[in-house]
Amino acid sequence: MPFTVTPTAIPDVLVLEPKVFGDARGFFFESFNARDFAQATGLEVAFVQDNHSKSAKGVLRGLHYQIEHAQGKLVRVVQGEVFDVAVDLRQSSPTFGQWVGERLSADNKKQLWVPLGFAHGFVVLSESAEFLYKTTDYWHPEHERSLLWNDPAIGIDWPLQGQPLLAAKDAAGKLLCDAECFP
């Protein structure tokens, strides 16, 4: 298997660590292989969109989700480091309202699988970071929602010094008690 899969405290959210082949010239690894992903995770997914963002230190993006056309996301960092977070918004889940976080970086090459029914976001820890993610559905702005990044009912322990830099839609995110959630 070209990577190892480790469940997080919320077992549906997975950390994938690739097998990296390196020498004096540099390194090589498969960042995604559908057959191996299905075999290792038991999930058959079809990705339809790849996204790439660059953000400065202290930028917090999220916590985003689409209430219709929900997206599964496979996320990774190709430059810099982020603290990546997934929040369970599935009301029928025993982990509803809970979160998990993982440091993703160009150095550790870890990826995070964020399944449907989760809000997702990250904060940049390095001077800047380039973030890549594959999605299982297209972006539908009319269905996009934002969960408030610092909702005390969720209690995410963001590794921040001071306030993050936020987009207006993220600063206006909903509290969990007011958010549209999944069944």
Strand residue runs (E) in the chain: 3-7, 14-18, 21-23, 26-28, 49-56, 60-66, 73-79, 81-88, 99-105, 111-114, 118-124, 128-135, 144-146
Q: Which of 52, 64, 120, 138 is catalytic?
A: 64
Phi and psi dihedrals of 35, rounded to 5?
-65, -45
Q: Which of 133, 138, 140, 143 is catalytic?
A: 133
Known active-site residue 133: yes
Known active-site residue 65: no
Q: Are 18 and 27 in contact (CB under 8 A)?
A: no
- Catalytically active residues, by annotation: 64, 133
